[in-house]
């Protein structure tokens, strides 16, 4: 069994309430959350600050913490100990979730339609007894598939709780010197358990936002764990300086509006089949959208009481509400599976927003948007 003792390297810990083991805490730099149909919490456990993440539904539910990087191209390292929900006594291919990811600002002008510089996903095999971690990394190299170079890290259920450590170097210039390394267990002094070499990833411009928690949760995994949380303990990252700002540029994602505006009570019909590949991920880089998406602009006034009924023709269609121009690594304010739910805009300040319609399985299809209430 792999050990899970504390591994000593630069950990940025802040706000620790050490007077009580049950008091809340937080770990810098993870200063933001995204948890539609999910919950995240920081829990003090002795000298450690533990992140718990639980979801109440499948996609697009998420329970993540995240932050923006001050230096997107700097080498990156993250380490944490993973403890799955107690109900997850076996893991098969239908049970999967993303545990951590690092997203670029936008899809590169030249290159594959990807933005995840890295993504770490948990899944298993048909027997349910051989779990594995899949590591995807953005690359334009010939060995990649649709802009991703990937590798797997098998482990045993008896290895849990399990320390996971990732390091990513962004390639310089137009070269292919990017590299991702991964270790399982406390000992990172030896060779990595997985190395992805020659990542031609410089064109993505580095990682803008890092996330940790649960996202892209499959229906089978959400059903199995119910409200039970995953826990992430002994979290450490190597950020020497952080991007601390309450204001985020609303144009950094270079997002192009492709759908009709939602600034009147008129119903709108559309199709994602005529969309664009602007959102390989969305909502602070946490959630994957496979295939094409459509962006509808919306302006909310100071007295808005507003929602949007989304009527899709497929069960995989999802809708997100985000600040105007918010790109793949930018924030969103709400999200729904379009079947049987209305997209809400709870107590948002007046301003410009965007409604993003996409699919989680790579398909495309038609939909209707029916405004409810007044946007003014």
Domains assigned to the chain:
32-237 (2.60.120.200), 268-374 (2.60.120.380)
Contact (CB, 8 A) for 110 and 332: no
Note the pLDDT of residue 31. Answer: 86
In the chain, % of residues over pLDDT 90 = 57
SS3 181: strand
The pLDDT value given to residue 249: 45
Q: What is the pLDDT of residue 241?
A: 64
Mean pLDDT across the stretch 58-72? 89
Burial 76-100 (b: 16+ CB within 10 A, else e): bbbbbbbbbbeebeebbeebbbbbb
Q: How confident is the model at residue 193 (pLDDT cuts 50, 70, 90)?
A: very high
User: What is the CB neighbour count within 10 angstroms for residue 141?
Assistant: 18
Q: Does position 122 have pLDDT exceeding 80, yes or no?
A: yes
At 124 the pLDDT is 95
Average pLDDT, the chain: 86
β-bridge partners, 242: 69
How many whole angstroms separate alpha carbon 279 and alpha carbon 56?
A: 24
State the pLDDT confidence band at 243, using cuts at 50, 70 and 90. low
pLDDT band at 11 (very low <50, low <70, confident <90, very high): very low
Quickly list DSSP for 308-359. Answer: EEEEESSTTEEEEEEETT--TTS--SEEEESTT-EEE-TTPPSEEEEEEEEE
pLDDT-wise least confident of 85-89, 133-137, 274-278: 274-278
Burial (CB count within 10 angstroms: exposed 0-12, middle 13-18, buried 19+), residue 334: buried
Burial of 145 (0-12, 13-18, 19+ CB in 10 A): exposed
Q: Which of 352, 336, 338, 344 is nearest to 287 (CA)?
A: 336
| DSSP output for 31-88 | -EEE-TTEEEEEEEETTEEEEEEEESSSTT--EEEEEEBSSTTS-EEEEEEEE--TT-
- Residue keyed to tokens 């540029």: 249
Residue 19 has a pLDDT of 27
CB contact at 8 A, 170 and 73: yes
With cut-offs at 50, 70 and 90, classify the pLDDT of residue 23.
Answer: very low
Of residues 115 and 143, the one with the higher pLDDT is 115
Give the whole-number percent of the chain exceeding pLDDT 70. Answer: 88
Strand partners, 44: 49
Predicted pLDDT of residue 24: 61
pLDDT tens readout for residues 197-234: 989 899 899 999 999 999 999 999 999 999 999 999 99
Whole-number Å distance between alpha carbons of 67 and 96? 23
> Which H/E stretch holds residue 215?
strand 209-215
Q: Compute the distance between CA of residue 350 and CA of residue 329 in angstroms, rounded to an integer.
A: 22
Q: Is the pTM of this model over 0.95?
A: no
pLDDT higher than 50, residue 1: no
Going by C-alpha positions, the residue among 109, 209, 112, 91 that lies closest to residue 159 is 91
Q: pLDDT band for 174, please (50, 70, 90 cuts).
A: low
C-alpha distances in angstroms, 219 versus 65, 250, 314? Answer: 21, 32, 16
Looking at residue 77, its pLDDT comes to 96
Lowest-pLDDT range, 40-54, 130-144, 339-353? 339-353
pLDDT at 256 over 50: yes
Per-residue model confidence as pLDDT tens digits over 283-341: 999 998 888 999 999 999 888 888 899 998 888 899 999 999 889 999 999 998 877 67
**Is residue 56 within 8 Å of residue 38, measured between CB atoms?**
yes
Tell me: pLDDT of 342 over 50: yes
**Residue 14 or 306, more confident:** 306
pLDDT tens per residue across span 228-239: 999 999 999 998
Helix H segments across the chain? 219-225
d(CA 327, CA 280): 10
8 A C-beta contact, residue 370 and residue 311 = yes
């Amino acid at each position: 069994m792999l050990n899970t003792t504390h591994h000593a390297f630069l950990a940025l810990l802040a706000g620790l309430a050490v007077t009580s083991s049950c008091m809340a805490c937080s770990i810098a730099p993870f200063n933001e959350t995204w948890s539609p149909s999910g919950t995240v919490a920081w829990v003090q456990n002795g000298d450690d600050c533990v992140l718990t993440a639980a979801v109440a539904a499948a996609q697009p539910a998420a329970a993540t913490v995240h932050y923006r990087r001050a230096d997107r191209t700097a080498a990156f390292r993250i380490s944490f100990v993973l403890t799955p929900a107690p109900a997850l006594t076996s893991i098969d291919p239908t049970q999967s979730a993303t545990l951590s990811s690092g997203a670029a600002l936008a899809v590169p002008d030249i290159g594959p339609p990807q933005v995840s510089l890295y993504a770490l996903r948990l899944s298993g095999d048909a027997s349910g007894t051989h779990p594995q971690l899949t590591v995807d990394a953005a690359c334009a190299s010939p060995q990649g598939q649709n802009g991703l170079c990937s590798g797997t890290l098998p482990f045993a259920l008896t290895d849990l709780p399990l320390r996971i450590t990732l390091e990513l170097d962004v390639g310089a210039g137009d070269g292919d010197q990017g590299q991702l390394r991964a270790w399982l267990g406390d000992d990172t002094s030896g060779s990595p358990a997985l190395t992805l070499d020659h990542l031609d990833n410089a064109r993505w411009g580095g990682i803008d936002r890092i996330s940790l928690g649960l996202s892209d949760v499959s229906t089978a995994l959400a059903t199995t764990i119910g409200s039970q949380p995953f826990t992430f303990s002994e979290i450490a990252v190597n950020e020497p300086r952080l991007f601390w700002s309450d204001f985020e540029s609303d144009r950094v994602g270079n997002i192009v509006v492709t759908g009709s505006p939602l600034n009147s009570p008129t119903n709108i019909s559309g199709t994602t089949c005529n969309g664009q590949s602007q959102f390989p991920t969305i909502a602070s880089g946490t959630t994957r959208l496979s295939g094409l998406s459509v962006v509808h602009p919306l302006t909310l006034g100071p007295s808005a009481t507003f929602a949007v009924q989304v009527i899709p023709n497929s069960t995989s269609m999802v809708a997100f509400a985000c600040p105007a121009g918010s790109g793949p690594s930018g924030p969103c304010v709400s999200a729904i599976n379009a079947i049987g739910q209305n997209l809400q805009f709870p107590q948002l300040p007046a301003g410009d927003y965007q409604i993003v319609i996409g699919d989680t399985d790579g398909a495309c299809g038609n939909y209707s948007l029916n405004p409810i209430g007044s946007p003014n």
